[in-house]
Structure 1
Amino acid sequence: MGGLAEGTSQFSGLLEGEDVLRTGWAMEALGADVKQLGGGKWQVTGVGRKGLSQPDKVLDFGNSGTGSRLIMGVVCGYPITVEMTGDASLRSRPMNRILTPLRLMRGLDTAGPDGRLPFSMVGTDDLRAITYSPPQASAQVKSAIMLAGLAASGTTVVEEAKPTRDHTERMLRGFGAKVDVARLDSGVMRISVEGGQTLSALDAAIPGDPSSAAFLVAAGILSPEGDVIVEGVMSNPTRSGFFDVANLMGAHLGAEEAGDAAGERLINLHAGAAALKGKAVPERLVPSMIDEFPILAVLAAFAEGETIVTGAEELRVKESDRIGATVAMLRANGVEAEERPDGFAVQGCAGKVPGGGLVQTHHDHRIAMSALIMGTAAQNPVSVDDISMIATSYPDFLSHMTELGADISQG
């Protein structure tokens, strides 16, 4: 959004993972001036009213599903052609869920029937507003449509049967855009954005990522050696599912207010050793923890009794088939787990996970980090086939785990 805005924005506390870096490089190729100042500080001068420029190279998003999908929405409303690609994992992921609504808005693309990268987005200065109900709960789909809607004629509306994370709505407002959100009598969330709005530059501190915090919290729950405190974590009800379920299982997480940043409430989380009980995860919480199911499965492995996940079929189309990869991770380490079409079931080991297995990560950063957390508390060390992709979302993961006393060796 800073790259689209009029003026210069300053950001601090940015998580400098590969996803963020690649998205920044893409916006730079599209005409924004993006400067990495060091220490998590960035300066972005946006294109403002002059609009995006034709890039002179292919935009390679690596493993960034979020970055690639948001940029599809951004470029849709400008008369430019943008070639896009990614790594093998990203090229295997479905994009028709994004392309379908953008095509309805008169955006064009060169994607084949399966809608997978690489392809070109062909934008237009005659984008039209739509009202769209995504068939799956996806904040990425919603956000791509909203960003395209900024350049459309009329009011673009997204209607969600299940609420998804709302960071885009909050951030758009921070940049001065008018975004209306209403819950209909039917329970549907209706999000509206007017076309033709110009964003204004913003100075913001970026809140701590709940998905990254989940790994540290899990390490604290599984450690017998005292509290882990994670400071400055974003506390947003559309992202709190993992922490809610951990508490249902008996974690008793502590939270204290820590101010706010970028329109989001902040908390400091306290996690200490806890004896967990298996639970059925309420389906209403699935969208608010869609990235945390591998690490939840690790907690389930150490719990007493059965944990059941349903309504999470979206996991099939993440960086890996996360249902299959999660179940395989557990089985490789002596945990009884069952794969189901829309989730999985785990028979907990009551604190005594055998471990000793080699986990195939399928180039999925969340599988790799979850397996390493499991290894910190298992009876035998847990190995993973690759850790390079962890930099996608959490480049400081290994150093943070070492600070907590984990013995993680490479070689």
Structure 2
Amino acid sequence: MDVIVTPTPRLAGEIQALSSKNYTTRYLLVAALAEGTSTIYYPAHSEDSDAMRRCIRDLGAIVEEDDEKIVITGFGRNPKPVEQLDVGNAGAVLRFLMAIASLCPDVTFINRYPDSLGKRPHDDLIESLTAMGVKIEHREGKLPIRIQGGQPKGGHIQVSGNISSQFLSALLFLTPLLEEDSEIEVLHDLKSKVVVGQTLEVLEQAGIVIHADEDYMRFRVPGGQKYAAKTYSVQGDYPGSAAILAAAAVTESDIVVHRLVENSKQGERAVVDVLRMMEAPLTHENDIVRVKGNGKLKAVEFDGDHATDAVLAMVAAAVFAEGTSRFYNVENLRYKECDRITDYLNELRKAGANVEERQAEIIVHGRPEGVEGGVEINAHYDHRVIMALTIVGLRSNSPIRIRDAHHVAKSYPIYFDHLKALGANVEWVQ
């Protein structure tokens, strides 16, 4: 389905931040890897977290759920042999489970999204797992991927970090379960280090010991560990909230978002700091963010690697800022559900934005007067692109139509419900 976004001069109201997708998928996985019963309060409901629920069930976890919590009885180090796993369009879920599937004798990850996840490369993780004694069949590093494992070996493991930190996180989930001690060496650069910090935080909560160098380029992992069954509470999601906060900043607004933890390890928490740098009227106290927007913003420069999943929303805000903004160190945006630099900027140009790209930079020449809009744009099946393009539509002179906007459900199924509750003029159309 498509969404028509009609210019909306004012937003007002209060919402509860969605629960964090990143933390939910990690808690689901460590609960499945525990021997015993774990409870996760306030889990996220999105296509990604649902994919992890579905797959851990297939691998033998018992998953029971009500409106408040999920109770999971894990399979420990012994996932059930399964022929196929379907991760939908969830890249992180695929990569985490490729590592865990190496404990299975023979499993194939199918390809249901050839135009999105099916195009994304996984060679770096494949090389690491192959060196650990796992046989893997693949199509130039892409889905479908067949893993014939059972007895992966620890020891000295190398993994490249310059495409995605998810490959490293996958190995950090697996190696504590192996008989041998492991040393993981990260080659080249490591993207999205803050997300690795989230992985380490969750592993520590699950009773796993990992010794990490300060720069996250080398890890020592004792073997023979067991995940502990624990109780977890999922914090509010900054990546999704970034779009709501940016929408408030570009309009006349008075909105309040609850459950955004001030000392969160989510890198996307930086959206609060960036909007402050852009001079958006904003407060953040007692895990509550309040934006009293006046639509007037200043340009900013920002290292986007610290907050990958909030960059597109911040770029959308910069479209209306006074001056030229620069978001640098963002090359890994090219390896997401779509090329979030070229594809996204092409759509912004259609709407009237003045933007430039470099291999690892997005440059925005702000237009405080607004953009023309009045176009149909393609979100490339990407939830972050959908949310960011909506922000631009709120300040366009004429409505924009976003194709296939239902893919926002990958991370934020009620995004448009929340916007409507705040007064945004958005309408679903066939």
Q: TM-score of the superposition, structure 2-length normalised? A: 0.86
What residue in structure 2 maps to residue 362 of structure 1? 380
What residue in structure 2 maps to residue 172 of structure 1? 203
AA aligned opposite 2:44: L
Partners of 1:117 and 1:281 lie apart in 2 by 34
1:357 Cα deviation after fit: 2.1
Judged with a 3 Å threshold, the aligned counterparts in structure 2 of structure 1 residues 181 and 256 are, in CA distance, closer, same or farther, namely farther
Q: Which runs of 5+ in 1 are unaligned?
A: 258-266
AA aligned opposite 1:82: V
Q: Contact conserved, 1:15 with 1:40, CA < 8 A, in 2?
A: no
Aligned length, in residue pairs: 391
Q: Contact conserved, 2:268 with 2:309, CA < 8 A, in 1?
A: no
What residue in structure 2 maps to residue 333 of structure 1? 351
What residue in structure 2 maps to residue 279 of structure 1? 300
1:12-411 paired onto structure 2 within 5 Å: 12-37=41-66, 39-48=67-76, 51-56=78-83, 58-76=84-102, 78-86=103-111, 87-88=113-114, 89-112=116-139, 114-132=140-158, 134-136=160-162, 138-152=164-178, 153-159=180-186, 161-162=189-190, 163-165=193-195, 166-183=197-214, 187=215, 189-233=217-261, 235-236=264-265, 238-257=267-286, 267-274=287-294, 275-282=296-303, 286-411=304-429
Partners of 1:231 and 1:351 lie apart in 2 by 33
Partners of 1:320 and 1:15 lie apart in 2 by 23
1:351 Cα deviation after fit: 4.4
Q: Contact conserved, 1:280 with 1:309, CA < 8 A, in 2?
A: yes
Q: Contact conserved, 1:84 with 1:118, CA < 8 A, in 2?
A: yes
Q: Which moved more, 1:233-242 or 1:2-11?
A: 233-242
Q: Which moved more, 1:6-15 or 1:144-153?
A: 144-153
SS at match of 1:332: helix
Q: TM-score of the superposition, structure 1-length normalised? A: 0.89
AA aligned opposite 1:217: L
Q: Contact conserved, 1:142 with 1:158, CA < 8 A, in 2?
A: no
Judged with a 3 Å threshold, the aligned counterparts in structure 2 of structure 1 residues 164 and 229 are, in CA distance, closer, same or farther, namely closer
Partners of 1:83 and 1:390 lie apart in 2 by 27
AA aligned opposite 1:169: L
What residue in structure 1 maps to residue 21 of structure 2? none
Q: Which runs of 5+ in 2 are unaligned?
A: 1-29
Identity across the alignment (%): 27
Judged with a 3 Å threshold, the aligned counterparts in structure 2 of structure 1 residues 177 and 223 are, in CA distance, closer, same or farther, namely same
1:180 Cα deviation after fit: 2.0
Partners of 1:179 and 1:387 lie apart in 2 by 40
CA deviations on 1:281-325 (whole Å, 9 max, x unpaired) are: 23xxx2221122221111110101111222211111110111012
Judged with a 3 Å threshold, the aligned counterparts in structure 2 of structure 1 residues 85 and 393 are, in CA distance, closer, same or farther, namely same
Partners of 2:185 and 2:169 lie apart in 1 by 9
Judged with a 3 Å threshold, the aligned counterparts in structure 2 of structure 1 residues 228 and 196 are, in CA distance, closer, same or farther, namely same
Partners of 1:23 and 1:385 lie apart in 2 by 27
Q: Contact conserved, 2:299 with 2:321, CA < 8 A, in 1?
A: yes
Partners of 1:245 and 1:118 lie apart in 2 by 39
Partners of 2:411 and 2:107 lie apart in 1 by 25
1:157 Cα deviation after fit: 2.5
- Higher relative CO (Cα under 8 Å, sequence separation at least 6) belongs to 2
Which has the larger strand fraction?
2
Partners of 1:129 and 1:247 lie apart in 2 by 46
AA aligned opposite 1:293: V
SS at match of 2:302: coil
